[in-house]
Structure 1
Amino acid sequence: MELALLAIGVGIGVGIVVGALGAGGGILAVPVLVFLLGMPAHSATASSLIIVLITALVSLPHHARHGNVEWRSGAVFAAISVAGAVVGSRLSALVPEQVLLTLFGVLLVAVAFAMLRRALRTRSEERAEAAAHGSRGADAEATVAIHDDPVLDQPGPDTTESADGLLHHHGEAELPTTPTRPASPRLPLVIAAATLTGLLTGFFGVGGGFIVVPMLVIALGLAMRRASGTSLLVMVIATAASLLARVGTDVQIDWATTLIFAAGSAAGGIVGGPLSAKARASTLTLLFSGLLGGVAAVTLVQTLLV
């Protein structure tokens, strides 16, 4: 009973953070499951896949209704990622726990650094926008603040930008000549990006926007918001393949704790979501970077020094 209460409490906390900062739940779930709930590292990565899968399934219909899911491109990308997901899952089961957690800590550091650079760049753009347009600055700031993920408000190849510098989405003014995506994305780039996405998803048990969204932008040329919606489709397929690839291994899943954690995280996400509209994208991304840096420090210290 105490473990169940701890799982739902921690899950709600993670969900609030995820909802407010737009962060991926998987990258936070693994260290939480290991260091707070006492799961073995391999079990935690498998449980994280279940949490990511549930989150993606719940979130996908909302993005689909708003036309932010490229079904065909996403399905092709996800299908290619399956090979990497299977290989990553099998390799993960063979790696010693200390090595797995050390590599996960390194991944956290890399993502934290990338988010820090994005936050500083976004903050600079926000200040330039405010200085250039005076009274328009407040409107621009509000526009940037309303988002699903700190990553999503960055211009993508098919995001339109008006003369006043503001981005326009979801039926707002767009340039009629702007294509939704490149006519013929490079096949080798798509294959490489999808395979890497699957490999990281299967190996670490994560699959959030920090991996999939940039890959979809780079490989398929989608705008950030559309890439975010499409990434949910990719995550559903990639995480499902990663879980199936673990069948027959020695990895055991604590289903009760995992499902309770996932339910708490979903509830927390509902609470945390509205908080994201009250802060600038650069502030949210900076907070996400700091959070990941702290989790990375705890992960590496606990793994290497304890």
Structure 2
Amino acid sequence: MLVFFSAILIGLSLGLFGSGGSILTVPVLLYLLKMSPELAIASSLFIVGSISLFAAARSSLKRLVSWPHVALFALPSMFGTYGGAWLGTLADSRWQLLLFSILMFMSAILMWRKKVQTTDASQALKPMTLIVTGILVGTVTGFVGVGGGFLIVPVLVLLGGLAMVRSIATSLVIITLQSSVGFIKYYVTLSAQGAIFDWRSIAIIIVFGIIGSIVGGAIANKVPKKQLQRGFALFLLVMAGVVIYQSVL
């Protein structure tokens, strides 16, 4: 029951904020399903990518996804994710978690201070800014083994000029692409080492996570934009505290 509830919460987070899936998924896999840290990180990428794919498809049908931002940000970030995932297989997981939490904390402060936009900014796209940022974000997300929404959403709002709701929808597409690339790298490496994935548990979490994402998306459409952005910032702060506590232990 805890796993089912956690899976719904994972989907709820992705549907509501366009991020947070991996932050919640990794502890579930580690502590409830007793996976090794390496398998938990790899499996979380597959789970979050699958749930995000479903949520992104629904957002696309509603025409909330900004495809120019996807093209400029996602493709470079996929290369960064692959390289970051390679580095992640060589690093101590405690340093991965610590970097993860520091970046979440910084993103939370910037999002809290950012003036709330209800529509997209009128300035033209800045291709080089999005490309360079995409590579950096992709590298970090691949390194720490997360979908990256906790960084992607602030980047799209602060640098991409998108409104919060559009940023969430667009981030789901980018998370799907990044998670896929990151998972492939981890899967190849771990399979070569003889690791076995628990596909049954992964499938159950994905199904209930999709249910949660539907609920989260419905809530996001009804919450005032200012409260949604401030809520996202607080969510990041809480998750950063949790991850720092875990990494210290």
TM-score category (smaller protein): 0.7 to 0.9
Do 2:15 and 2:212's aligned partners in 1 also have CA atoms closer than 8 Å?
yes
Matched ranges for 1:1-306 at <5 A: 5-20=1-16, 23-71=19-67, 74-118=70-114, 121-122=115-116, 153-158=117-122, 181-182=124-125, 185-187=126-128, 189-216=129-156, 221-222=161-162, 224-250=164-190, 252=195, 253-277=197-221, 279-304=223-248, 306=249
Unaligned runs of 5+ in 2: none
Q: 1:53 Cα shift?
A: 1.3
Output one character per residue of 1:211-232: Cα deviation in whole Å (capped at 9) or x when no partner.
2244345665555544444333
Between 1:203-212 and 1:215-224, the stretch displaced more is 215-224
Over 3 Å counting, the alpha-carbon distance change for 1:34 and 1:109 in structure 2 is farther
Between 1:89-98 and 1:289-298, the stretch displaced more is 289-298
Do 2:138 and 2:148's aligned partners in 1 also have CA atoms closer than 8 Å?
no
Whole-Å separation in 1 of the counterparts to 2:37 and 2:45: 13
Do 1:57 and 1:232's aligned partners in 2 also have CA atoms closer than 8 Å?
yes
Q: 1:50 Cα shift?
A: 1.2
Match of 2:146, SS state, is: coil
> Which residue number corresponds to residue 129 of structure 1?
none
TM-align CA RMSD: 3.1
Q: Compare the two structures and name the one with the higher helix fraction.
A: 2
- The letter for the 2-side match of 1:254 is D
Unaligned runs of 5+ in 1: 123-152, 159-178
Do 2:55 and 2:214's aligned partners in 1 also have CA atoms closer than 8 Å?
no
Over 3 Å counting, the alpha-carbon distance change for 1:254 and 1:71 in structure 2 is same
Between 1:218-227 and 1:233-242, the stretch displaced more is 218-227
What TM-score results when the alignment is normalised by the length of structure 2?
0.79
> Which residue number corresponds to residue 170 of structure 1?
none
Q: 1:22 Cα shift?
A: 5.3
If you compute each CA radius of gyration, which structure gives the higher value, 1 or 2?
1
What TM-score results when the alignment is normalised by the length of structure 1?
0.66
Greater RCO structure (CA 8 Å; 6+ sep): 1
Whole-Å separation in 1 of the counterparts to 2:13 and 2:66: 27
